[in-house]
Structure 1
Amino acid sequence: MNILDPLAARYATWLRLPAEATNDTGDEDPALVRAMPVVLRVERDPQPARTPLLEAAAAAAIAVCLDDRAATPDGPWHEDVDTWVRGRIRKVARRARGAHWEAVQDLPGITVSVDGAEARALVPGLVVESPKVLSRLQISGSELPEDTPGPVPAATPVLWLNPDVAMTVGKAAAQVGHATMLLAALLHASDRSDDLKSWSTNDFRCAVRTPTTARWRELHPGSDPDTAWREHGTTAVRDAGFTEVAPGTVTVIAQWP
């Protein structure tokens, strides 16, 4: 049993839903909404580069889920992570600098640094119960300019951002965090635990890139996500459309090397 099994089980069903159905929360009680906070360190000077910051956020999100404190049934994070994974996989990205960044280090979670950029994913919980040190952090603002990352390192998973959908750095951070979770869930479900273990020993490093529109269409799993994963090692993040993008939008395609 893997803590991400529920995510793998419903992946293909979610991709095949009508777009409007992805946004349907039914009778969901706002008081019971759970989310994983992802805190991005965005200092005034120097500001982090956008791509390393997204790569740090992506690695931090899956690191929390597969940490022994979450993955082990008697671990202190297990109940919170398990309950969250079985529901809607919401993430809320916030930005912090200076003393505010230092303060969130005391909250349960994992910080990842990539080329000087830092992100901390926290143990998911009820949004209404967010501690003040977290809730006072801004969600929007401090947008970072596009950068020009180099070639993808060998044997590195790639998270391809939709080239035709504009996303803030906070939105993109949440989406690439979803992508690494899906990769890990599908690796375990397809009996590739050795690949998953190897990835974990490399601190879940990944590359975030933006393909051409033509390349995006080639990578897109379309209506047959099972075949896309089995034959091409690709999986897609489809957003519910609560913020920034339309319901049903595929925001990221993750590709296992």
Structure 2
Amino acid sequence: MTDAASVLEPLTARYTSWLELSDESTADTSDEDPDDVVLMPMVLRIERNEPPARTDLLQAAASAAIAVCLDERCRPGGEWRDAVGTWAAGRIRKVARRARGSHWSAVQSLPGHTITVGTAQVRAFLPMRLSEMPKELTRLQISGSELEPDEPESAVDGVPVLWLNPDIEMSAGKSAAQVGHASMILAALLYGTGAHGELDRWAADGFPCAVRTPDGASWRALHPGTEPAAAWRERGVAAVRDAGFTEIDPGTVTVLAQWPGGVGQFREKLTDAG
């Protein structure tokens, strides 16, 4: 697992600089050819008559995204290494589409991982160029993935918690992409700060995650503020800051990822920016 996790090294190096961006920062995409955009597709199974619980769906999405990144085929020399490594070193984008029935079955043959959590199933795929996306994915709708909010029980002890920003509204598809970013950042920081045993145990359990929405006071107390490295070392908290490509303003912190028990016992490699 440690060898595969090295594919996420660019995230560790970039983490503190992401959080230093001002709230008005925007992603400069003026040099991009849309057909050359590389992204990780995610497909959410949303059956018409039996839609999944929203929380189950988001937890499955978080686990599926990191399962692809830390697949053994992402080890140096592995067949997935170049695809995941190139994507992780650039602008990390995900796009969530919905599927049901035969369309859901059709995407299972494409390279990726399907994760089931409770009532939900999500499949995350190997990152690819938008222009090279197969028809099994391009024919799926991006819109229409909204699900009614639910009220999950308290988060399970010993499982990382991905806290959704209570002050913004995101569709289920957007939220799925954001918690996928959060699980990737957690794995990158665990690898980068020497917590390889923790990462191995998380992988052996199937990368379980709890997704919850805190109240405003709890969110503010958890937020790393201007000290992301210290928040990780002292409290095991990492943040996802959105680039503003879709739905929300650039610079918005969408998710706070909290590792169970903190990480103070781990070797400290992540240094304060500046």
How does the TM-score come out when normalised to structure 2? 0.92
1:226 pairs with one of 202, 226, 229: 229
1:200-215 correspondence to structure 2 within 5 Å: 200-215=203-218
Letter of the structure 1 residue corresponding to residue 85 of structure 2? D
Query: Offset at 1:148?
Result: 0.7
Match of 2:16 in 1: 12
1:24-173 correspondence to structure 2 within 5 Å: 24-70=28-74, 72-173=75-176
Q: Deviations over 1:130-150 (max 9, x none)?
A: 111100100011410000111
Match of 1:249 in 2: 252
Secondary structure at 1:76 match in 2: coil
Letter of the structure 2 residue corresponding to residue 41 of structure 1? R
Q: Deviations over 1:76-115 (max 9, x none)?
A: 1111100000001100000000000000001000000001
- In the alignment, is the contact (CA less than 8 A) between 1:22 and 1:239 conserved in 2? no
Letter of the structure 2 residue corresponding to residue 101 of structure 1? W
How does the TM-score come out when normalised to structure 1? 0.97
Instruction: State, as a whole percentage, how many aligned pairs show the same letter.
Output: 61
- In the alignment, is the contact (CA less than 8 A) between 2:145 and 2:173 conserved in 1? no
Supply the distance in 1 between the matched residues of 2:145 and 2:77 (Cα, whole angstroms): 39
Query: Offset at 1:73?
Result: 1.8
- In the alignment, is the contact (CA less than 8 A) between 1:236 and 1:254 conserved in 2? yes
In structure 2, the CA distance between the partners of 1:78 and 1:247, relative to structure 1 (3 Å rule), is: same
Supply the distance in 2 between the matched residues of 1:219 and 1:167 (Cα, whole angstroms): 20
Letter of the structure 2 residue corresponding to residue 87 of structure 1? G
Query: Offset at 1:126?
Result: 0.3
- In the alignment, is the contact (CA less than 8 A) between 2:97 and 2:145 conserved in 1? no
Letter of the structure 2 residue corresponding to residue 13 of structure 1? S
Supply the distance in 2 between the matched residues of 1:24 and 1:252 (Cα, whole angstroms): 22
Q: Deviations over 1:126-181 (max 9, x none)?
A: 01111111001000114100001111111010000000100000000000000000
Query: Offset at 1:28?
Result: 2.4
- In the alignment, is the contact (CA less than 8 A) between 1:161 and 1:211 conserved in 2? yes
- In the alignment, is the contact (CA less than 8 A) between 2:98 and 2:141 conserved in 1? yes
Match of 2:190 in 1: 187
Unaligned runs of 5+ in 2: 261-274
- In the alignment, is the contact (CA less than 8 A) between 1:41 and 1:119 conserved in 2? yes
Secondary structure at 2:243 match in 1: coil
Secondary structure at 2:224 match in 1: coil
Unaligned runs of 5+ in 1: none
1:217 pairs with one of 220, 223, 229: 220
Letter of the structure 2 residue corresponding to residue 223 of structure 1? T
Supply the distance in 1 between the matched residues of 2:107 and 2:153 (Cα, whole angstroms): 31
Supply the distance in 1 between the matched residues of 2:16 and 2:225 (Cα, whole angstroms): 11
Query: Offset at 1:116?
Result: 2.6
Supply the distance in 2 between the matched residues of 1:29 and 1:127 (Cα, whole angstroms): 10
